[in-house]
Structure 1
Amino acid sequence: MLFDSTLRRDLSRSFGATLIVIMTIVITMFLIRTLGQAAGGAVAPQDVALLLGYISLENLPTMLSLSLFIAIVTTLTRMYRDSEMVIWFASGVGLARFVRPVLSLVWPLLVLVAILALFVWPWGNRQVVELRDRYERRSDISRVAPGQFQSSADGSRVFFIDRDTGDGSIANNVFVLERREGSESVTSARSGRIELDGDQRFVVLEDGQRTDLELATGEKRLAEFESYRVLVGEALTSGTDNLPAKARSTWQLLTQPTERHLGELAWRIGLALGGINLVLLGIGLASANPRRAGNWNLLVALLAFVVYYNLLSLSQAWVASGTLAFGPALAVVHGGMFMVAVTLLWWRERGSSMVLRRRRPAG
């Protein structure tokens, strides 16, 4: 049908352009933040691109929903401004008639949003957690770059090496300054290497000396050694028991229904339900007066999106804190938004019908 094909074509073009713009803005923001974290030592510089990819996948459901919402509002608003809506209304096509072609076009995107929210979101979060955890739990000697002073993870040690081998496992001319409560020690060695003992890492220093200083008394002790072993790292990897709720699979959340898990589950299901409500809400919010300049309806639509997703975050917090049960939280937020969207759609449909009746000449 001409009506369906025209609407789908315009909506597809608008959605594609909007998604590109939103993804560019969001990825640029995350890139700046990730580079800042890498500069501050929170993540490994070589993992920036990989981390950015995981974060983009995590936020893809929200970007798709926002792009779809804006595309619906802008497409229908343009049709109002070009008086196309008046023609369709005069032909007997009401605003509610737009729901079916829009849903028939966007239902694959809504299914994709649900899959991303339920499965890709926890996988991406888990990969981010493992990347950061692996970086935080690496050995202290691996933090050191030749010719640079570098502190350990807890700040109790300062390392310096003159040079190392290509793989970083053996360092030459090693300097270690260690501070403890009431004492300070300086260790220097001709070479050092990393050894693994179970899930712990040690650095073995060879051919060096160690100077201990008691800060209270000023007493010094000097010791020379041929081989000296220092613990510089804890467990290489962390267990899955310490994973946050957002990094756990949906099946784990269902089989372990704690309050925190149910709160995370409310967020994921809310992302899927939110896409459907935004489609209906976008059709109802799209309205423009050809005689009035400006895009106030788009600003109102963006404000509605922000409020809706803030309510979604609040519902997650309510369920996680035990303030509201899982089912009532979904019913209040998403059921309430569905009623608002349907009511707005009915009000727009009724208003357009009344306008046409007033404009129709008396027979």
Structure 2
Amino acid sequence: MIIRRYLVKQVLSTSLVVVALLTLIMMGGRLIKYFGVAAQGRLDSSVLLSIIVFRMPEFLTLILPLGFFIGLMLVFGRLYVDHEMAVFNASGVSRGQLARLLVPFTILVLGAQALLMLHTAPWGVRQFEQLATEQAVRAGFDLVRPKEFISSGPYTIYAGDLSEDRRNLRDIFVYQRAIKEGKPDVMIVAREATRVQIPNETANVVDLVQGRRYEIYPGQPKYLQAEFQSYRLRLENDKDIELDASKVEALPTSALWERRGDPVINSELGWRVFVPFAIVVALMLAVALSEVSPRQGRYYRLLPAILIFASLIVLLVAVRIRISKEQLDVWAYPAVLIVYAIAALLFARKQKLAPKIKKQLKRVKS
């Protein structure tokens, strides 16, 4: 019991640090992307934290198995380097027995992984899609800030002043880039603007007062000018703001089960059901690959082991794509896991047989 508590404490603390570091690295890249979108005025900066929270469970479905595997490798490697494994072996506790002591903790991690994949990650994708849909209609004058140039799709907008209810604007400048080649760019300058609410209208509609409208032909020495007392402007929403997310990935697991039979549905359902068992394979591989001598150091086999386990994740992702294209059956998921589990057993068996083989070779030579 004391040994189990010791091992669980070491693996838990190490795995949490690794998972946190990997999450920071992966989410950092996404956060930079969203900051760039927000800086362009195409995304409200107040929703950045919500986006990260909703996307995090999806990333954790891949980070948690890898973090758990690296944590196991580091802990077992340290046991060898610090001669603790030798003490355990001298006390009658083998490497396999230590692995069995970690089985209950591994089952808890497997349960957490299954909860992520079956419920939390799809929920996060649904919330993200809802937020993305809300942001997709926030374009044009929805994102205007006083005395700042805001870009929204083909529009660049400036307002010198803005009322608290965001309905009235002063000193308006609107520049619209031509979408089609050969068409003119449009520039509008107006003294005031009032937003107009129209039922079932997704675009931004404003009434401009006392201004001028220019049609500019880039690269050509000509333009058209018109003055107006009142002018209604309709700004289409930016379609590119829709942040892509798969509809199937957002479906609850119960909905996937009801619609099973479609290859895309089967691919996603099998992914959620079978991939959590990679946690068990992680324990088997880590125990088999972590054995090092004190002179080699605990990191000697870490990189090759990470590449082997990463190949498992990559292969599962490839199987997911193949199943969705009807090139493989859903049972390819457990087949891959079983192959890697057998490989882990062979690695462990090879390490047990290697010393005996060396002794036999020495006897033959002598």
TM-score w.r.t. the length of structure 1 is 0.81
Alignment of 1:175-186 (within 5 A): 175-178=173-176, 182-183=183-184, 185-186=186-187
Matched-pair contact (CA < 8 Å) for 1:137–1:233:
no
1:251 aligns with 2:254: yes
Matched-pair contact (CA < 8 Å) for 1:80–1:287:
yes
**Over the residues paired in the alignment, what is the CA RMSD in angstroms?**
3.5
Letter in 2 for 1:115: L
The verdict on how the C-alpha distance between 1:140 and 1:351 changes in structure 2, with shifts beyond 3 A counting, is: same
Matched-pair contact (CA < 8 Å) for 2:196–2:205:
yes
Query: Which moved further from structure 2: 349-358 or 248-257?
Result: 349-358
1:266 aligns with 2:253: no
Counterpart Cα distance in 2 of 1:43 and 1:182: 28
The verdict on how the C-alpha distance between 1:271 and 1:209 changes in structure 2, with shifts beyond 3 A counting, is: same
Shift of 1:305: 2.4
Alignment of 1:92-103 (within 5 A): 92-103=92-103
Matched-pair contact (CA < 8 Å) for 1:270–1:312:
no
Shift of 1:108: 1.4
Alignment of 1:1-363 (within 5 A): 1-41=1-41, 43-153=43-153, 155=154, 157-178=155-176, 182-183=183-184, 185-189=186-190, 190-209=192-211, 211=213, 213=215, 220=224, 222=226, 224-226=228-230, 228-233=231-236, 244-257=247-260, 258-293=262-297, 295-327=299-331, 329-350=332-353
> Which residue pairs with 2:364 in the alignment?
none
SS at match of 1:53: helix
Counterpart Cα distance in 2 of 1:201 and 1:193: 11
The verdict on how the C-alpha distance between 1:9 and 1:356 changes in structure 2, with shifts beyond 3 A counting, is: farther
Query: Quick one: percent identity of the two aligned structures?
Result: 21
Shift of 1:179: 5.5
Counterpart Cα distance in 1 of 2:53 and 2:237: 28
The verdict on how the C-alpha distance between 1:70 and 1:352 changes in structure 2, with shifts beyond 3 A counting, is: farther
Matched-pair contact (CA < 8 Å) for 1:62–1:271:
no
Matched-pair contact (CA < 8 Å) for 1:90–1:356:
no
Shift of 1:42: 5.4
Shift of 1:29: 4.2
TM-score w.r.t. the length of structure 2 is 0.81
Counterpart Cα distance in 1 of 2:207 and 2:337: 62
Matched-pair contact (CA < 8 Å) for 1:95–1:345:
no
Matched-pair contact (CA < 8 Å) for 2:197–2:205:
yes
* Stretches of structure 1 lacking an aligned partner (at least 5 in a row): 359-363
Aligned residue pairs, count: 351
The verdict on how the C-alpha distance between 1:353 and 1:50 changes in structure 2, with shifts beyond 3 A counting, is: farther
